[in-house]
Every structure is written in structure tokens, then in C-alpha cells.
Amino acid sequence: AWWALDFDSASAVAHAVGRWLWPVTLPDSPVAAAILHAVAVLIVACPCAMGLATPAAIMAAANVAARHGILIRDGAALEKSGRINAVVFDKTGTLTAGEMAVAAWQPAAGVSPDELQELAVAVAAPSNHPLSRAIAGSRSTDAAPPAFEHWEEIRGAGVEAVLGGRRLRLGSLRWLAETGVKLSDGDAFAREWQARGATVLALARDEQPLGWIALTDPIKSAANAVIEELRRAGHQLFLVTGDNRLTAAAIAQQVGLPPEAVFAEVRPEAKADIVRQLQERGLRVAFVGDGINDAPALEQADLGVAVSRASDVAREAADLILLRSDLEAVPRALRLARAALRTIHQNLFWAFFYNAAAVPLAALGFLSPLVCAAAMGLSDLMVVGNALRLMRWRG
């Protein structure tokens, strides 16, 4: 029958193959030894330890960071943190407490203090800017707010309103000067308060000044210690602010920064340009900020750090978020990142050394597949164990 022929053929083929394979499977067969060596090489060459080297260290460091009030948004941020060599600080709300308060009023000639205060409070009230909130909160009144015909907040400059056909402007001295307001009568008042680190604004009606307002914001208690610690660690430090140069210089002096490290009168959109300029000089830059205006700089920086009271926009742009109102977390985060980077390098070295040493030994037959499997597991444990050492990090 036809199937008998096929069966006989299959039996003959099986017999021939069996006679050929049988010697191969004997323990002393060269082919059997080659197969064992190949299996051993495949086992020992498994890149498990290499694959665990970085994520294990990052996971451990992220856990430690969370205990210290630092939220790491992604593992790449931790790796970038370990390579930072320059830190740029925003001023308001970062080096300062962000608790703006009116320190002094200076009415212009022919303007009463009450008129200056009432108009300034009315113009500032609709704004959420910290300076506007400080002015609006400096005077309580039961009077109904005026019905402005127009009100507009101008980013990085101030606020503008139209009342009774007259244009009111409340904002920076530079902006008012650019609009044609003559502010020379308030120069002495402005210089006096700017030398103390205060921010000085002016209020004008059309082209006539109505008065000047000095606002202070206390330096954070830890600012000097943080600046000194970062300097000792070898970081280049900079201050970026939209404030007047005198104010910026006074704040820089209070926290221990030299005048050449200060960028003053910087418009919000120019902060990112300053970060870019520093990067073009070969610096790896961390930017520490809190406001909506800081978001482009946080995005541009190699590492963006948002402080605890940061706006949602700043948090979204940042790589690290400080969960506590603790400026000391900045150098702490950079120290932790360097420790994590060292651990990653140690893990990668061990994983490479293990493969480089074990693969030739397995290929030459010095390691059996069983020993290779045990060695591979031991290598993984050593990498994970080294990463877990970070859990004992105390800063």
C-alpha cells in the first residue's frame, strides 16, 4: 500500500538520523561539549545586570528624594541633575520669601497720600501679580471699586486702566519712562529704597506721575547658606530678575552673589535667552523659579527646578519640584543626583566586568550552564544591592 512505502521510508530516515545523532549525544562527544559551551555562553551573556544598572539606582534615588520633599518627574531628570555645574535663581519667591509688602508711599507734588493710595489700590486690585496683591492689600476700604472703562495687565511691565477718559498706569519705572512719564522728581526716593533691595513702582495719570511705591520682600533665611554651599560644590551661580539694577545688586549682595553674576531688568521672555547664552558657554544649567514667567526658562534649562509655591505652569515645565518651602532642597537634590550617578556608574562597571570576564570563561568550558545561571543571578543581586545602598543616603 502507498502508506506502507511512506512508513518504510520514514523508518529508514529515522534510523539513519538516530545512528548519526547517537554518538553526538555521548558525554565525551565534541559536539555535545560545544553545545554545552554555547548554552553556557548564552546564559552568562544575558544583559540583565546591564539593564538593571540604571533603573534600579534611579528608583532608589527617587524614593529617597520623595522622603526629602523632592519630586522627580522622570528618571532622566535625575541623571541630568548629577551633571549640573551652574545654577540660575529667579529672585521673587525663590531667593525671597514672596511675601511682598508696601514699605513706603511717596506722593508727587500736589497729590495727597490718600489719593495716591486709593488710585493705586483700585488699579492693582483686579491683578493677581504678587506686587499688585501687596498694593491692593495695603489699604482696606468699603468703597465700591471704580468702573474702569478699560483695564489691562501688561506682562513684565504693570497694569493700565482708563477711568473718566484718563489713562492710569501702575508699574515699573522703566515702563512708565518708556511711555513718556517724567519720573525725575522721585529719583531720590527710588534710589534710597532700591539700595535697600526694595522694588519701586510708580503710578501715573496720562503723562503725569502721581507717586511712587516701595515694596519689600524678605530674603529667605536659608538663602545665604544655600548660595555658599552651592559655591563650595563648584557651581557657578547667577541671579535673574526683572527688577531694577540697584534693587538686584542689593539683593545679590545680601545673599552673597557678586555683581557680575546678576542679570537685572530682564523681561519675562528673555529669561530663557539668558539660560541659552549660558549653555552656549558650555555650562550645564539648572534654573530655579516659581512663576508663570519662569516657565520658558525652566523648559530651556538642562534642569528645571520649581519651588514649593510655584504656579501650575512652572510645575509643568520643571523636572524637579520642591514640595516644601525649603530652599536647602536645591543643593540636597544635586548631591543626591551625584550620588545616584556614581551608583549608576558602579553598576554599569560591575555589569560590564561580569560579562567581560564570564563570557570567555564560559566559551572555553570553565563554567557549566548551571554555574553560569547562578553567576548571572548573583550579578543581578549585586547591582540591585548596590542601588539599594542609596536608601541609606542622608545628604
pLDDT in tens, 339-356: 888 999 998 888 888 878
In order of 136, 141, 227, 233, 281, the CA distances from 237 in angstroms are: 34, 44, 8, 11, 14
| 101-216 carries CATH number 3.40.1110.10 | yes
Spatial distance between the Cα atoms of 255 and 196, rounded to a whole number of angstroms: 13
Please compute the mean of the pLDDT values over residues 64-83 and round it to a whole number. 84
pTM of the full predicted structure?
Answer: 0.78
Q: Are 56 and 384 in contact (CB under 8 A)?
A: yes
Mapped onto helix, strand or coil, the DSSP state of residue 175 is: helix
3-state secondary structure at position 24 = helix
**Predicted pLDDT of residue 46:** 78
Region 17-44: mean pLDDT is 67
Active-site choice (90, 217, 243, 319): 90
- Domain(s) labelled CATH 3.40.1110.10 in the chain stretch across 101-216
Whether residue 243 lies in the annotated active site: no
Domain 86-96+222-321 falls under CATH 3.40.50.1000:
yes
Location of each CATH 3.40.50.1000 domain in the chain: 86-96+222-321
Q: Which pLDDT score is estimated for 380?
A: 86
CA dist., res. 117 & res. 115, Å (int): 5
